[in-house]
Amino acid sequence: MQSASERDPLPWCLALCFGFLLLCLHRLGLPNRIYFDEIHYVVAARQLLEGVPANREHPMFAKEVIAAAITVLGDRPWAWRVPSLIFGVLGLHAFGRLVWHVSQRRFATIAAMFLLAVNFLWFVQSRIAMLDMISAGLGMVALWQFAAVLREPSWRPRLRLALCGLAMGLSLGAKWSIAPVLVLPGLLFLALRVRESGWRIVGRRGAGPIPRISLVEAAWWLGAFPLGLYWLTYLPGFFWSSRAIEPLGFIPYHEYMIRLQDSVKRLHPYRSVWYQWVINWRAIWYLYDDADGGQRGILLVGNPFTMLAGLPALIWCAWAGLWRRRFDALAFVVLYAVTLGIWIINGKPIQFYYHYLLPSAFLMACLALALDAVWRRSDWWRCLAPAALTIAAGMFVYFYPIISAARLHHGKQSFMQWMWLDSWR
Protein backbone atom coordinates (compact mmCIF):
# COMPACT_ATOMS: atom_id res chain seq x y z
CA MET A 1 0.00 0.00 0.00
CA GLN A 2 1.45 3.35 -1.03
CA SER A 3 1.58 6.20 1.42
CA ALA A 4 -0.66 9.18 0.78
CA SER A 5 2.33 11.23 -0.36
CA GLU A 6 3.18 8.63 -3.02
CA ARG A 7 -0.22 8.17 -4.61
CA ASP A 8 -0.39 8.32 -8.36
CA PRO A 9 -0.47 12.04 -9.32
CA LEU A 10 -2.64 11.39 -12.38
CA PRO A 11 -4.99 14.36 -11.73
CA TRP A 12 -2.00 16.69 -11.55
CA CYS A 13 -0.60 15.18 -14.74
CA LEU A 14 -3.86 15.74 -16.59
CA ALA A 15 -4.07 19.31 -15.29
CA LEU A 16 -0.54 20.03 -16.52
CA CYS A 17 -1.41 18.61 -19.94
CA PHE A 18 -4.53 20.77 -20.13
CA GLY A 19 -2.57 23.90 -19.21
CA PHE A 20 0.08 23.03 -21.79
CA LEU A 21 -2.63 22.52 -24.41
CA LEU A 22 -4.09 25.97 -23.74
CA LEU A 23 -0.66 27.60 -23.98
CA CYS A 24 0.06 25.87 -27.28
CA LEU A 25 -3.32 26.80 -28.75
CA HIS A 26 -2.70 30.51 -28.13
CA ARG A 27 -1.55 32.00 -31.45
CA LEU A 28 -1.18 28.54 -33.01
CA GLY A 29 -2.17 29.99 -36.38
CA LEU A 30 0.59 32.62 -36.32
CA PRO A 31 2.35 33.23 -38.53
CA ASN A 32 -0.44 32.85 -41.02
CA ARG A 33 1.91 31.24 -43.53
CA ILE A 34 4.56 28.56 -43.82
CA TYR A 35 7.67 29.24 -41.75
CA PHE A 36 11.01 27.51 -41.21
CA ASP A 37 10.97 23.76 -42.02
CA GLU A 38 7.24 23.75 -42.67
CA ILE A 39 8.35 24.56 -46.21
CA HIS A 40 9.46 20.92 -46.51
CA TYR A 41 6.73 19.06 -44.66
CA VAL A 42 3.55 21.00 -45.43
CA VAL A 43 4.46 21.02 -49.12
CA ALA A 44 5.23 17.29 -48.91
CA ALA A 45 1.86 16.64 -47.25
CA ARG A 46 0.08 18.53 -50.03
CA GLN A 47 1.91 16.49 -52.63
CA LEU A 48 1.01 13.25 -50.87
CA LEU A 49 -2.65 14.22 -51.25
CA GLU A 50 -2.00 14.55 -54.99
CA GLY A 51 -0.23 11.20 -55.17
CA VAL A 52 3.09 12.83 -55.95
CA PRO A 53 6.33 11.70 -54.22
CA ALA A 54 8.05 14.36 -52.12
CA ASN A 55 10.59 14.70 -49.31
CA ARG A 56 11.69 11.13 -49.90
CA GLU A 57 14.64 11.36 -47.50
CA HIS A 58 12.31 10.96 -44.50
CA PRO A 59 9.72 8.29 -43.60
CA MET A 60 6.12 9.02 -44.44
CA PHE A 61 3.89 8.68 -41.39
CA ALA A 62 4.22 12.20 -39.97
CA LYS A 63 3.63 13.71 -43.40
CA GLU A 64 0.60 11.46 -43.80
CA VAL A 65 -0.77 12.78 -40.50
CA ILE A 66 -0.28 16.38 -41.64
CA ALA A 67 -1.99 15.50 -44.93
CA ALA A 68 -4.91 13.99 -42.98
CA ALA A 69 -5.21 17.17 -40.92
CA ILE A 70 -5.32 19.24 -44.11
CA THR A 71 -8.03 16.97 -45.49
CA VAL A 72 -10.18 17.17 -42.36
CA LEU A 73 -9.51 20.74 -41.18
CA GLY A 74 -8.56 22.52 -44.38
CA ASP A 75 -5.31 23.79 -45.84
CA ARG A 76 -4.64 26.51 -43.28
CA PRO A 77 -1.75 27.17 -40.87
CA TRP A 78 -3.35 26.08 -37.60
CA ALA A 79 -4.54 22.88 -39.27
CA TRP A 80 -0.99 22.03 -40.39
CA ARG A 81 0.20 22.44 -36.79
CA VAL A 82 -2.58 20.55 -35.02
CA PRO A 83 -0.84 17.15 -35.38
CA SER A 84 2.28 18.42 -33.61
CA LEU A 85 0.06 19.95 -30.93
CA ILE A 86 -1.85 16.69 -30.37
CA PHE A 87 1.28 14.58 -30.18
CA GLY A 88 3.04 17.19 -28.06
CA VAL A 89 0.28 17.01 -25.43
CA LEU A 90 0.08 13.23 -25.72
CA GLY A 91 3.86 12.97 -25.41
CA LEU A 92 3.88 15.21 -22.34
CA HIS A 93 1.29 12.98 -20.67
CA ALA A 94 3.17 9.83 -21.69
CA PHE A 95 6.39 11.31 -20.31
CA GLY A 96 4.71 11.88 -16.95
CA ARG A 97 3.34 8.34 -16.93
CA LEU A 98 6.82 7.05 -17.81
CA VAL A 99 8.44 8.91 -14.92
CA TRP A 100 5.76 7.67 -12.53
CA HIS A 101 6.01 4.01 -13.53
CA VAL A 102 9.79 4.08 -13.45
CA SER A 103 10.23 6.04 -10.21
CA GLN A 104 6.93 5.75 -8.24
CA ARG A 105 7.75 9.24 -6.92
CA ARG A 106 4.91 11.73 -6.91
CA PHE A 107 6.91 14.96 -6.66
CA ALA A 108 9.40 13.79 -9.28
CA THR A 109 6.59 12.95 -11.71
CA ILE A 110 4.86 16.32 -11.36
CA ALA A 111 8.16 18.19 -11.48
CA ALA A 112 9.34 16.30 -14.57
CA MET A 113 6.19 17.12 -16.51
CA PHE A 114 6.32 20.75 -15.43
CA LEU A 115 10.01 21.06 -16.37
CA LEU A 116 9.40 19.52 -19.79
CA ALA A 117 6.44 21.83 -20.44
CA VAL A 118 8.60 24.89 -19.75
CA ASN A 119 11.90 23.74 -21.27
CA PHE A 120 11.04 25.73 -24.48
CA LEU A 121 11.88 22.93 -26.95
CA TRP A 122 8.80 20.83 -26.26
CA PHE A 123 6.61 23.93 -26.48
CA VAL A 124 8.06 25.30 -29.73
CA GLN A 125 8.10 21.91 -31.48
CA SER A 126 4.47 21.31 -30.45
CA ARG A 127 3.46 24.39 -32.46
CA ILE A 128 5.16 23.83 -35.81
CA ALA A 129 4.34 21.42 -38.63
CA MET A 130 7.51 19.32 -38.50
CA LEU A 131 8.12 15.60 -38.06
CA ASP A 132 9.86 15.74 -34.70
CA MET A 133 6.97 16.02 -32.27
CA ILE A 134 4.89 13.30 -33.89
CA SER A 135 7.85 10.94 -33.59
CA ALA A 136 8.83 12.06 -30.07
CA GLY A 137 5.27 11.93 -28.74
CA LEU A 138 4.73 8.40 -29.99
CA GLY A 139 8.15 7.38 -28.70
CA MET A 140 7.13 8.55 -25.22
CA VAL A 141 3.93 6.50 -25.48
CA ALA A 142 5.97 3.40 -26.33
CA LEU A 143 8.24 3.91 -23.32
CA TRP A 144 5.24 4.59 -21.06
CA GLN A 145 3.51 1.37 -22.05
CA PHE A 146 6.64 -0.71 -21.62
CA ALA A 147 7.42 0.83 -18.22
CA ALA A 148 3.80 0.22 -17.18
CA VAL A 149 3.88 -3.45 -18.10
CA LEU A 150 7.11 -3.94 -16.17
CA ARG A 151 5.65 -2.18 -13.13
CA GLU A 152 2.33 -4.08 -13.28
CA PRO A 153 3.02 -7.25 -15.30
CA SER A 154 -0.28 -8.87 -14.35
CA TRP A 155 -2.52 -6.09 -15.75
CA ARG A 156 -3.28 -6.78 -19.44
CA PRO A 157 0.34 -7.31 -20.50
CA ARG A 158 -0.50 -8.15 -24.10
CA LEU A 159 -2.58 -5.00 -24.54
CA ARG A 160 0.23 -2.84 -23.18
CA LEU A 161 2.84 -4.59 -25.30
CA ALA A 162 0.61 -4.20 -28.35
CA LEU A 163 0.23 -0.47 -27.67
CA CYS A 164 3.98 -0.24 -27.14
CA GLY A 165 4.64 -1.96 -30.46
CA LEU A 166 2.05 0.19 -32.23
CA ALA A 167 3.62 3.39 -30.92
CA MET A 168 7.10 2.14 -31.78
CA GLY A 169 6.22 1.37 -35.39
CA LEU A 170 4.44 4.67 -36.00
CA SER A 171 7.13 6.66 -34.19
CA LEU A 172 9.81 5.16 -36.41
CA GLY A 173 7.54 5.83 -39.38
CA ALA A 174 7.60 9.52 -38.47
CA LYS A 175 11.36 10.02 -38.09
CA TRP A 176 14.36 7.72 -37.79
CA SER A 177 16.04 9.61 -34.95
CA ILE A 178 13.77 7.77 -32.47
CA ALA A 179 15.32 4.41 -33.44
CA PRO A 180 17.87 4.21 -30.56
CA VAL A 181 15.03 4.54 -28.04
CA LEU A 182 12.97 1.85 -29.70
CA VAL A 183 15.57 -0.89 -29.38
CA LEU A 184 15.77 -0.44 -25.59
CA PRO A 185 12.51 -2.21 -24.56
CA GLY A 186 13.49 -5.40 -26.35
CA LEU A 187 17.03 -5.30 -25.01
CA LEU A 188 15.80 -4.68 -21.47
CA PHE A 189 13.28 -7.52 -21.69
CA LEU A 190 16.06 -9.85 -22.84
CA ALA A 191 18.45 -8.67 -20.11
CA LEU A 192 15.83 -9.17 -17.38
CA ARG A 193 15.00 -12.60 -18.76
CA VAL A 194 18.64 -13.61 -18.70
CA ARG A 195 19.06 -12.30 -15.15
CA GLU A 196 16.19 -14.45 -13.93
CA SER A 197 16.63 -17.57 -16.05
CA GLY A 198 20.29 -17.58 -17.00
CA TRP A 199 20.84 -18.53 -20.58
CA ARG A 200 17.86 -20.90 -20.50
CA ILE A 201 15.75 -18.05 -21.76
CA VAL A 202 13.58 -20.04 -24.17
CA GLY A 203 10.94 -22.54 -23.17
CA ARG A 204 10.56 -21.72 -19.48
CA ARG A 205 6.95 -21.11 -18.51
CA GLY A 206 6.21 -18.32 -16.08
CA ALA A 207 9.67 -16.77 -16.38
CA GLY A 208 10.05 -13.01 -16.05
CA PRO A 209 10.09 -10.12 -16.45
CA ILE A 210 6.46 -10.53 -17.59
CA PRO A 211 5.42 -13.99 -16.47
CA ARG A 212 2.77 -14.68 -19.13
CA ILE A 213 4.86 -13.36 -22.01
CA SER A 214 7.37 -15.71 -23.64
CA LEU A 215 10.57 -14.52 -25.26
CA VAL A 216 9.13 -15.34 -28.68
CA GLU A 217 5.97 -13.33 -28.01
CA ALA A 218 8.02 -10.40 -26.69
CA ALA A 219 10.10 -10.51 -29.88
CA TRP A 220 6.86 -10.21 -31.84
CA TRP A 221 5.40 -7.26 -29.92
CA LEU A 222 8.69 -5.37 -29.54
CA GLY A 223 10.34 -6.29 -32.83
CA ALA A 224 8.45 -7.82 -35.74
CA PHE A 225 5.11 -6.07 -35.10
CA PRO A 226 6.58 -2.51 -35.02
CA LEU A 227 8.66 -3.20 -38.12
CA GLY A 228 5.56 -4.48 -39.93
CA LEU A 229 3.66 -1.31 -38.99
CA TYR A 230 6.60 0.79 -40.11
CA TRP A 231 6.49 -0.95 -43.49
CA LEU A 232 2.75 -0.26 -43.76
CA THR A 233 3.30 3.49 -43.28
CA TYR A 234 4.79 3.47 -46.79
CA LEU A 235 1.58 2.05 -48.28
CA PRO A 236 0.54 5.23 -50.17
CA GLY A 237 3.94 5.28 -51.85
CA PHE A 238 3.29 1.86 -53.38
CA PHE A 239 0.61 3.46 -55.57
CA TRP A 240 2.39 6.59 -56.77
CA SER A 241 1.94 7.04 -60.49
CA SER A 242 5.63 7.79 -60.91
CA ARG A 243 8.66 6.47 -59.01
CA ALA A 244 6.47 4.30 -56.78
CA ILE A 245 8.06 2.48 -53.85
CA GLU A 246 8.57 -1.22 -54.49
CA PRO A 247 6.87 -3.14 -51.63
CA LEU A 248 9.65 -5.73 -51.61
CA GLY A 249 12.42 -3.29 -52.40
CA PHE A 250 12.72 -1.79 -48.95
CA ILE A 251 16.46 -2.18 -48.50
CA PRO A 252 17.36 -0.42 -51.78
CA TYR A 253 14.78 2.29 -51.04
CA HIS A 254 16.22 2.92 -47.58
CA GLU A 255 19.70 3.08 -49.04
CA TYR A 256 18.35 5.75 -51.40
CA MET A 257 16.82 7.65 -48.44
CA ILE A 258 20.15 7.59 -46.61
CA ARG A 259 21.96 8.89 -49.67
CA LEU A 260 19.46 11.75 -49.92
CA GLN A 261 20.01 12.68 -46.27
CA ASP A 262 23.79 12.56 -46.60
CA SER A 263 23.72 14.61 -49.79
CA VAL A 264 22.90 17.81 -47.86
CA LYS A 265 26.38 19.26 -47.37
CA ARG A 266 25.83 22.97 -47.88
CA LEU A 267 26.56 24.72 -44.59
CA HIS A 268 23.52 26.21 -42.90
CA PRO A 269 23.77 29.37 -40.75
CA TYR A 270 21.93 27.60 -37.90
CA ARG A 271 23.91 24.37 -37.97
CA SER A 272 25.30 23.19 -34.64
CA VAL A 273 26.84 20.15 -32.98
CA TRP A 274 25.98 18.10 -29.91
CA TYR A 275 28.26 19.77 -27.36
CA GLN A 276 26.72 23.14 -28.24
CA TRP A 277 23.28 21.70 -27.55
CA VAL A 278 24.36 20.42 -24.14
CA ILE A 279 25.40 23.88 -22.94
CA ASN A 280 22.52 25.65 -24.68
CA TRP A 281 24.97 27.60 -26.81
CA ARG A 282 23.35 27.69 -30.26
CA ALA A 283 19.79 28.84 -30.92
CA ILE A 284 17.69 28.79 -34.10
CA TRP A 285 15.46 31.59 -35.32
CA TYR A 286 12.40 29.82 -36.69
CA LEU A 287 10.80 33.18 -37.37
CA TYR A 288 11.75 36.83 -37.06
CA ASP A 289 9.79 38.98 -39.42
CA ASP A 290 7.05 41.55 -39.85
CA ALA A 291 4.14 39.12 -39.92
CA ASP A 292 0.41 39.40 -39.33
CA GLY A 293 0.44 43.06 -38.44
CA GLY A 294 3.56 43.30 -36.34
CA GLN A 295 7.12 42.20 -35.64
CA ARG A 296 7.06 38.59 -34.43
CA GLY A 297 9.63 36.00 -33.52
CA ILE A 298 9.93 32.32 -32.67
CA LEU A 299 13.29 31.40 -31.17
CA LEU A 300 14.25 27.80 -30.54
CA VAL A 301 16.52 27.82 -27.52
CA GLY A 302 16.52 25.88 -24.29
CA ASN A 303 15.29 27.23 -20.96
CA PRO A 304 18.47 28.95 -19.70
CA PHE A 305 17.97 27.64 -16.17
CA THR A 306 16.79 24.06 -16.63
CA MET A 307 19.15 23.15 -19.47
CA LEU A 308 22.18 24.02 -17.34
CA ALA A 309 20.76 22.89 -13.99
CA GLY A 310 20.02 19.55 -15.62
CA LEU A 311 23.71 18.82 -16.21
CA PRO A 312 24.74 18.41 -12.53
CA ALA A 313 21.45 16.55 -12.02
CA LEU A 314 22.49 14.19 -14.82
CA ILE A 315 25.78 13.52 -13.02
CA TRP A 316 23.93 12.98 -9.73
CA CYS A 317 21.56 10.51 -11.39
CA ALA A 318 24.51 8.58 -12.85
CA TRP A 319 26.09 8.42 -9.38
CA ALA A 320 22.83 7.43 -7.71
CA GLY A 321 22.18 4.81 -10.35
CA LEU A 322 25.60 3.18 -10.20
CA TRP A 323 26.44 3.47 -6.50
CA ARG A 324 23.01 3.61 -4.85
CA ARG A 325 21.36 1.22 -7.30
CA ARG A 326 18.66 3.73 -8.20
CA PHE A 327 17.26 2.10 -11.32
CA ASP A 328 14.98 5.06 -12.02
CA ALA A 329 17.88 7.52 -12.08
CA LEU A 330 20.04 5.21 -14.18
CA ALA A 331 17.21 4.61 -16.67
CA PHE A 332 16.93 8.28 -17.57
CA VAL A 333 20.71 8.69 -17.77
CA VAL A 334 20.76 5.83 -20.28
CA LEU A 335 17.90 7.35 -22.27
CA TYR A 336 19.70 10.69 -22.35
CA ALA A 337 22.99 9.10 -23.39
CA VAL A 338 21.42 6.97 -26.12
CA THR A 339 19.36 9.77 -27.67
CA LEU A 340 22.30 12.19 -27.61
CA GLY A 341 24.87 9.55 -28.54
CA ILE A 342 23.21 8.80 -31.86
CA TRP A 343 23.98 12.38 -32.94
CA ILE A 344 27.55 12.18 -31.66
CA ILE A 345 28.33 9.16 -33.85
CA ASN A 346 25.94 10.09 -36.67
CA GLY A 347 27.67 10.92 -39.91
CA LYS A 348 24.95 13.37 -40.97
CA PRO A 349 26.93 16.45 -42.04
CA ILE A 350 24.37 19.11 -41.01
CA GLN A 351 22.71 18.94 -37.58
CA PHE A 352 20.48 21.33 -35.66
CA TYR A 353 19.50 22.15 -32.10
CA TYR A 354 16.03 20.64 -32.51
CA HIS A 355 17.77 17.25 -32.59
CA TYR A 356 18.22 17.79 -28.84
CA LEU A 357 14.45 17.49 -28.31
CA LEU A 358 14.52 13.96 -26.88
CA PRO A 359 17.76 14.23 -24.88
CA SER A 360 16.50 17.44 -23.30
CA ALA A 361 13.29 15.68 -22.24
CA PHE A 362 15.20 12.94 -20.43
CA LEU A 363 17.46 15.61 -18.93
CA MET A 364 14.33 17.12 -17.37
CA ALA A 365 13.54 13.73 -15.82
CA CYS A 366 17.04 13.66 -14.30
CA LEU A 367 16.58 17.18 -12.93
CA ALA A 368 13.19 16.22 -11.48
CA LEU A 369 14.67 13.18 -9.70
CA ALA A 370 17.45 15.31 -8.25
CA LEU A 371 14.92 17.91 -7.07
CA ASP A 372 12.84 15.10 -5.59
CA ALA A 373 15.86 14.02 -3.53
CA VAL A 374 16.20 17.58 -2.25
CA TRP A 375 12.45 17.80 -1.58
CA ARG A 376 12.64 14.72 0.67
CA ARG A 377 15.15 16.34 2.99
CA SER A 378 13.93 17.65 6.33
CA ASP A 379 16.22 20.71 6.53
CA TRP A 380 16.22 24.06 4.79
CA TRP A 381 17.67 22.55 1.59
CA ARG A 382 14.15 21.28 0.90
CA CYS A 383 13.06 24.75 -0.23
CA LEU A 384 15.47 24.58 -3.18
CA ALA A 385 13.12 22.21 -5.03
CA PRO A 386 10.12 24.58 -5.33
CA ALA A 387 12.55 27.46 -5.86
CA ALA A 388 14.01 25.68 -8.89
CA LEU A 389 10.56 25.09 -10.35
CA THR A 390 9.71 28.75 -9.79
CA ILE A 391 12.86 29.91 -11.60
CA ALA A 392 12.11 27.54 -14.49
CA ALA A 393 8.58 28.96 -14.76
CA GLY A 394 9.91 32.53 -14.53
CA MET A 395 12.26 31.89 -17.44
CA PHE A 396 9.37 30.54 -19.50
CA VAL A 397 7.23 33.57 -18.75
CA TYR A 398 10.07 35.96 -19.58
CA PHE A 399 10.89 34.26 -22.90
CA TYR A 400 7.27 33.51 -23.80
CA PRO A 401 6.84 36.43 -26.25
CA ILE A 402 9.87 35.38 -28.29
CA ILE A 403 8.99 31.67 -28.42
CA SER A 404 5.27 32.08 -29.13
CA ALA A 405 5.07 34.55 -32.05
CA ALA A 406 3.80 37.37 -29.85
CA ARG A 407 3.70 40.84 -31.33
CA LEU A 408 6.87 42.69 -30.29
CA HIS A 409 6.48 46.40 -29.67
CA HIS A 410 9.99 47.76 -30.19
CA GLY A 411 10.48 47.11 -33.88
CA LYS A 412 13.19 45.04 -35.48
CA GLN A 413 15.54 45.43 -32.52
CA SER A 414 13.05 43.86 -30.10
CA PHE A 415 14.97 40.60 -30.13
CA MET A 416 17.89 42.19 -28.25
CA GLN A 417 15.97 41.88 -24.98
CA TRP A 418 16.45 38.11 -25.03
CA MET A 419 19.91 37.86 -26.62
CA TRP A 420 21.86 36.84 -23.53
CA LEU A 421 24.53 35.24 -25.70
CA ASP A 422 25.85 36.42 -29.07
CA SER A 423 25.55 32.81 -30.27
CA TRP A 424 21.75 33.05 -29.92
CA ARG A 425 21.53 35.80 -32.54
Residues 82-133: tens digit of each pLDDT: 999 999 999 999 999 999 999 999 999 999 999 999 999 999 999 999 999 9
Average pLDDT over every residue of 357-372: 98
- 263: pLDDT strictly greater than 90: no
pLDDT grade for 5, boundaries at 50, 70 and 90? low
Q: Percentage of the chain with pLDDT > 70?
A: 96
Q: Kindly list the strands in the beta sheet with 294-300, ordered across the sheet, starting from the edge strand earlier in the chain.
A: 284-291, 294-300, 407-408
The residue ranges of every structural domain in the chain are 4-424
The residues, ordered by sequence, that sit 6+ positions from 288 with a Cβ below 8 Å of its Cβ are 295, 296, 297, 298, 299, 415
Give this prediction's pTM. 0.96
pLDDT at 270 over 50: yes
Averaged over 331-348, what is the pLDDT? 93
Query: Region 15-32: what's the mean pLDDT?
Result: 98
Split at pLDDT 50, 70, 90, the class of 262 is confident
The predicted pLDDT at position 341 comes to 96
Mean pLDDT over the full length of the chain = 94
- Give the per-residue pLDDT at 83: 98
Contact 91, 141 (CB under 8 A): yes
Q: How far apart are CA 425 and CA 422, in angstroms?
A: 6
Would you say residue 75 has pLDDT above 70? Answer: yes
- Buried b / exposed e over 138-154, threshold 16 CB at 10 Å, is bbbbbbbbbbbbbeebe
pLDDT at 56: 94
* Other Cβ atoms closer than 10 A to 12: 15
Dist. CA 34–CA 31, nearest whole Å: 7
pLDDT-derived band at 231 (thresholds 50, 70, 90) equals: very high
Q: Does the pLDDT of residue 2 top 60, yes or no?
A: no
pLDDT at 378: 85
Per-residue pLDDT, 202? 60
Task: Give the model's pLDDT for residue 90.
Answer: 98
Residue 268, pLDDT score: 78
Residue 265 has pLDDT above 90, yes or no: no
For residues 155 and 345, give the distance between their C-alpha atoms in angstroms, rounded to a whole number: 39
Mean pLDDT across 343-349: 84
306 pLDDT above the threshold of 70: yes
Higher model confidence: residue 194 or residue 329? 329
- Decide: 136 and 37 in contact? Cβ < 8 Å: no
